[in-house]
Amino acid sequence: MKKSIFLLLSVCFAFASCLTEDPVTAALMLGGKSQAPVFLNCRTVSENEIEFEFSHAVNITSLILDPDIKILSIEDGNTVKVQIEETAEPGRLIYADLLAEDEKKNTVNVLARFRSRNNRMPELVINEICTEYSRSNTAIRTEFIEFKTLSAGNLGAMRVFILGNTNAAKLTVYEFSPVEVGKGEYITLHLRTLEAGCKDEYGSNLAESGGTNSSPTGRDFWFPGNAKLLHKTGIVYVLDQDDNVLASIMMSEKPDSWWAKDYMADAAEFLFKQGAWVSLEGKICSPADAVITTGTTATRTVCRDETLENTNTATDWYITATSSLTPGKPNNPKRYVN
């Protein structure tokens, strides 16, 4: 019954798309009074503490969590701090239905979608990228992003972003649900789902998923639909729950002197400040300092040289030879020669 209520509320209050970079939230201000409190954000501070941020101080009159997690205490204010009894599974999806009012009795109803705290995200790198799509009578090859774990951990709440010259939005392409991974695992995120049998492999059976480029030895995950999300000029990065960059790559089809779009330059500065991508001179990356993707095809992919230590520069990368792509497996050392 509770899940049905949340589904109805999500429709009535127009939940934001799951592609936004912010938590999926909706708020309804009741009473029509001015200066009503505005809901700003929610986040999990620790395994047993959640914060809800408002424009000004509020008192919580009702709070329901789904799944049903026991609430130990609520501290009102601009930032409402909620202590819970249970420590949820790392990165577990949680819905909150919250009713708050300020000192003037202005009321706001908040519906929020967020994930439980995950302090066990693994260290990982982006390992292989296919920027191109092809379809023939024998195969459907979609764009993909492959990761390699450098330590064990849980992927829950890890977010994958794509930014490109044709798209100014910072798209959360995928947000992982909880799944335990070991060191040295290969994880492929396929960016379209166009074949039958394409399954997200959250269990122990790594051969469960079908589809071209799926791997029986690596984990496969699939983004639904048929939209093109990744281009030859683009930026891919992975964030934790505190917006720290866990892995990144900057790609450009041409070695131009500077980015054609301001938001690409802003992203280059963001990654530079976090030390996630730099030029060989240790400066902010221009297109000339990115991985040059001229020559990539649906079977010639951008690959990390797994024999080298990660330097967060373009020198870590090469374009593999024709038909040498290896999603879910160690990279093929054969290189494309133009």
The predicted structure's pLDDT at residue 3? 44
pLDDT surpasses 50 at 24: no
The predicted structure's pLDDT at residue 190? 97
Pull the structure tokens for residue 20.
Answer: 């936004």
Q: Do the Cβ atoms of 90 and 175 come closer than 8 Å?
A: no
Least confident range of 129-143, 180-194, 313-327: 129-143
pLDDT surpasses 70 at 34: no
Q: Do the Cβ atoms of 150 and 124 come closer than 8 Å?
A: yes
Q: Enumerate the CATH 2.60.40.1220 domain ranges in the chain, comma separated.
A: 15-115
Instruction: Please identify, in words, the CATH class of the domain defined by 15-115.
Output: mainly beta
102 vs 105: CA distance, rounded Å:
5
170 vs 172: CA distance, rounded Å:
7
The predicted structure's pLDDT at residue 35? 82
Least confident range of 22-26, 161-165, 190-194: 22-26
The predicted structure's pLDDT at residue 104? 94
Pull the structure tokens for residue 112.
Answer: 């929020």
Statement: the pTM of the whole predicted model exceeds 0.85: yes
DSSP codes joined into one string, 17-61: PTTSSS-EEEEEEES--TT---EEEEEEEETTEEEEEEEEEEEEE
Kindly give, in sequence order, each residue whose CB lies less than 8 Å from that of residue 136, ignoring residues fewer than 6 positions away.
none
Whose tokens are 């040289």? That residue is 305
pLDDT surpasses 80 at 33: no
The predicted structure's pLDDT at residue 46? 94
The predicted structure's pLDDT at residue 107? 95
pLDDT digits (tens, 9 = 90+) for 281-292: 999 999 999 999
Q: Do the Cβ atoms of 172 and 189 come closer than 8 Å?
A: no
